[in-house]
Structure 1
Amino acid sequence: MGILYKNSLLLDSMKNKFKPHRYSDLESFERLLLLIAILVKYPGVGYRDRNLLDTTEIHYNALEEVKFYLQKLADQLGIDLPEDYPAITTLRKDLETLKDYQILEKRMYRWGYYLGTGVMSPLELKIALDALESLAIKQGDPRIRKITEQFKKRLRGFAALEDQQLFYPVRQQLNHAINYTDPDEMMEKGVYRQTLFHHIHILETAIIEGQIIEISRKKDLYDNKRVGIMKVYPLQLIYHNVAWYLLHEDYKNEHLVISRVNRLGNYCKILEPSGRGINKQKQSLTKAYQLLENGWGLKLGNLEEQKQELAGKLNFVKAKVRFFYPVSQFIEEGERRHPKQKIKRGKIDPQTHQPQYIDYSVALPLRSLDEFYFWLNSYGEYVQVLAPSELVERHQRSALTLVSRYGCNKDNIT
């Protein structure tokens, strides 16, 4: 009797241990595995841009696309599924199961279904990796360099399957930083620079949190006497042409400024850890980009100018420049150089069949004339400034200075 009693207890224990499960049968189990497989193979499956839907697809169901790819994969693997299987309601329950086991997150998937951070297809991943590598190498971003190295390690198996195509740089950005940006590289080469690049990780956190930080400007090449300690909200790190810049806002008066990072000292202190939040950061960033779009280059002007400009009360200056052939062709090619530009062609040369010149005009805030002038001056003798008068006079003085240097001192040139 004792043995029978023990066996009875053992059978009861086994029954409790091996309770029937939703996915105990082969068909349900294969369906769940197929669902996971298509989330891996087709990241973003189920998303359809509402703006691109035609009138017959107003009631588009994301799970219909999930079902289509599940059936397609089953066919490829030789798995026989019943007709019109699985039902949409069944797939919905399967997705909830994946959320219960944290394979999917407990949230709405408005942009399609994907696992973890696997939001990219192999082609999209290739393009993103090219961009990251450019940031890491040419723009000298130390954090991106480390991330890229980690990505490459994790993707070695995938790259082997793709015959190493993943790591071939199809796209590359050749603009590169002209000063040292990577603390590890500085240490390796013995060229230590006392700049803000040593605190980038603190800076990035402060940007996301909207924290007030204290930084130091160690030099001002524009003779505005803006050196020393500053208390600011950092808004964004910007790479432009040959260097990294920090867009920041004065924590008291909201003055927006763009400062070159290598001209800021090796000092960064968080003053308010709580921060003002991402929404306020976005509002300030929007204002800064409005100023950038209106102007030319990175100079954002003084506080009073910014207030008037953002309120739509600032009068802009019309700059007009004549570019002569053949430089005129390159200028005309830049159709999107500035959102407010206008280009007017001059007379056609019968020999080249091209305009002898083009007139380029754009309305700019006064703060931008310096950087606009530096740009047009790079085209040398192929430029004639027509307006405004102060820019005309400045260009004439520059030309006379060059004549003086080259004309009067020929014998001294070696």
Structure 2
Amino acid sequence: MATLIRYPGVGGFTYDEAAAQTHDALLEVQHYLQKVANELGLALPQYSTHTLRKDLVTLRRYGVLNQRMYRWGYYVGTGAMNLEELRIILQAARSQAQAQGDPQTRQVCRQLEKRLRGLDLELQGQLFYPVRSHLNRTIVYSDPEEMMAKGQYRHTLFHCIGEVETAIVQGQPIQLHRLADPFGTAGVGRIQVYPLQLIYSELAWYLLFEHLSNQHLEIERVDRFGDNVQRLEVNQREITLQYQRLQVAQKLLQDGWGLYLGTPQQQQLELAGQGKLVEVKVRFFEPVVTFILEGARRHDRQRLRPGPKDSSSGQPQYVDYEVKLPPRSLNEFSRWVHRFAHAAKVLAPAALVAKHREDARKLNQLYR
């Protein structure tokens, strides 16, 4: 047990390359058993792998190990991480709890910090030091406890988020009530869906789901739903099908720009390989040229074409950003370009050029 606690994953060819050559996981366990014994000053016999296998059966009998295969290494209970892995996971969880306002993660972090306070003192505060952090901060209330403490109660889906998570992993269809439709594309009222994933993006938490009626995939902000979840006792499906539909949605996200997945008709054509892509071209000027050139992975289909260099600075005078997008993504792409409005000129397609020219005219009119 001491060996499995100190080296979680031992026996999965994670520690000893020599053992991996033999394809016998217990040789690695045998090696680290002796290593731990030597560190503790214990003189142990050279136990055979047959003896170790019997010991593992005993650990299973007492519930220390589960009754299943440990193909990728043994670990005790849920102790699947070493100290460095724990430190990394803790930092990610604390950042999500604080900046993204995830109430479940906040509760878990509070519990872990209490349990591990002694270890943090032993490590002179290094365990909880936030070496890495996510600064994207939610713009809406998402933690029911925080709402109550501040007197800012919101009747939103965040009060039922545990039920949504359960429905996701159980493949359980649910009924939700959409409270708001700020873009005028989805409508309000009751909808019946398979929830697929909770997503944090830039400013808020979103729910990715599939409509029961037509398999249309959609993403909506969590706080735009009411605090009521009704389980539907029909068509519960396996987690494998849930994951397949999640992968389809992720492919749509990867091919597009932003979170809008299109109308049912657009989505069907795109998934059938019949959707036409639009070639978009924007010319960026100083002072954002270097920033645009740094983004080598903004989109899988992008091309960056630097213009001629300035004789005095040696830097490109401009850079052309080209990308092929489905029509559903043009509005969100436009909003991204607007961040650089004073240093960006849309060159194609013609409809997008006209839109940005009109936006510039309206902005000029506002400042008059």
What is the TM-score normalised by the length of structure 1? 0.85
Rounded to whole Å, the distance in 2 between the matches of 1:156 and 1:53 is 35
Counting only pairs closer than 5 Å after superposition, residues 157-306 of structure 1 correspond to structure 2 as 157-224=118-185, 226-272=187-233, 275-306=236-267
Q: Which residue of 22, 45, 59 maps to 2:10?
A: 45
Does the aligned pair in 1 maintain the 2:13–2:20 contact within 8 Å?
A: no
Deviation at 1:340, TM superposition (A): 1.0
The residue identity in structure 1 corresponding to 2:11 is G
Deviation at 1:153, TM superposition (A): 1.5
When residues 53 and 348 of structure 1 are mapped into structure 2, their CA distance, relative to the original with a 3 A threshold, is: farther
Count, aligned residues? 367
Rounded to whole Å, the distance in 1 between the matches of 2:235 and 2:280 is 45
Q: Which residue of 374, 392, 401 maps to 2:353?
A: 392
Give the aligned partner of residue 135 of structure 1.
Answer: 96
Give the aligned partner of residue 40 of structure 2.
Answer: 77
Give the aligned partner of residue 282 of structure 2.
Answer: 321
Give the aligned partner of residue 68 of structure 1.
Answer: 31
Rounded to whole Å, the distance in 2 between the matches of 1:384 and 1:48 is 55
When residues 162 and 225 of structure 1 are mapped into structure 2, their CA distance, relative to the original with a 3 A threshold, is: closer
* DSSP 3-state at the match of 2:209: strand
Give the aligned partner of residue 18 of structure 1.
Answer: none
Rounded to whole Å, the distance in 2 between the matches of 1:126 and 1:90 is 34
Cα RMSD (Å) of the superposition?
1.8
Deviations 1:133-166 (A, max 9, x none): 1111111111111111111112123223222221
Deviation at 1:203, TM superposition (A): 0.7
Deviations 1:306-343 (A, max 9, x none): 11111211111011111112201111111111111111
Deviations 1:380-410 (A, max 9, x none): 211010111100111111112222232xx3x
Give the aligned partner of residue 5 of structure 1.
Answer: none
Rounded to whole Å, the distance in 2 between the matches of 1:224 and 1:76 is 65
Rounded to whole Å, the distance in 2 between the matches of 1:53 and 1:38 is 18
Q: Which residue of 307, 318, 334 maps to 1:346?
A: 307
Rounded to whole Å, the distance in 2 between the matches of 1:212 and 1:99 is 36
Rounded to whole Å, the distance in 2 between the matches of 1:79 and 1:265 is 61
When residues 57 and 181 of structure 1 are mapped into structure 2, their CA distance, relative to the original with a 3 A threshold, is: closer
Rounded to whole Å, the distance in 1 between the matches of 2:275 and 2:21 is 46
* DSSP 3-state at the match of 1:226: coil
Rounded to whole Å, the distance in 1 between the matches of 2:227 and 2:275 is 37
Deviations 1:183-209 (A, max 9, x none): 111111111111111110111111111
Q: Which residue of 79, 82, 89 maps to 2:50?
A: 89
Does the aligned pair in 2 maintain the 1:297–1:368 contact within 8 Å?
A: yes
The residue identity in structure 1 corresponding to 2:266 is E
What is the TM-score normalised by the length of structure 2? 0.96
* DSSP 3-state at the match of 1:351: coil
1:375 aligns with 2:321: no
Does the aligned pair in 2 maintain the 1:209–1:274 contact within 8 Å?
A: no
Deviations 1:204-224 (A, max 9, x none): 111111111111111111122
Rounded to whole Å, the distance in 2 between the matches of 1:340 and 1:226 is 32
The residue identity in structure 2 corresponding to 1:47 is G
- Structure 1: gaps of 5 or more residues: 1-35, 410-414
* DSSP 3-state at the match of 1:374: helix
Rounded to whole Å, the distance in 1 between the matches of 2:24 and 2:222 is 49
Give the aligned partner of residue 11 of structure 1.
Answer: none
* DSSP 3-state at the match of 2:50: helix
* DSSP 3-state at the match of 2:175: strand
Does the aligned pair in 1 maintain the 2:173–2:235 contact within 8 Å?
A: no
The residue identity in structure 2 corresponding to 1:90 is T
The residue identity in structure 1 corresponding to 2:311 is P
* DSSP 3-state at the match of 2:228: strand
Does the aligned pair in 1 maintain the 2:260–2:329 contact within 8 Å?
A: yes
Rounded to whole Å, the distance in 2 between the matches of 1:374 and 1:252 is 31
Rounded to whole Å, the distance in 2 between the matches of 1:293 and 1:246 is 17
- Which deviates further from its counterpart, 73-82 or 123-132? 73-82
Deviation at 1:40, TM superposition (A): 0.6
The residue identity in structure 2 corresponding to 1:42 is Y
* DSSP 3-state at the match of 1:219: coil
When residues 164 and 53 of structure 1 are mapped into structure 2, their CA distance, relative to the original with a 3 A threshold, is: closer
Deviations 1:84-127 (A, max 9, x none): x1212221121112112211111110111100110111111111
* DSSP 3-state at the match of 2:192: strand
The residue identity in structure 1 corresponding to 2:327 is L
Rounded to whole Å, the distance in 2 between the matches of 1:158 and 1:214 is 45
Larger Rg: 1
Rounded to whole Å, the distance in 1 between the matches of 2:279 and 2:13 is 45
Deviation at 1:373, TM superposition (A): 0.4
The residue identity in structure 1 corresponding to 2:35 is K
Deviation at 1:363, TM superposition (A): 0.5
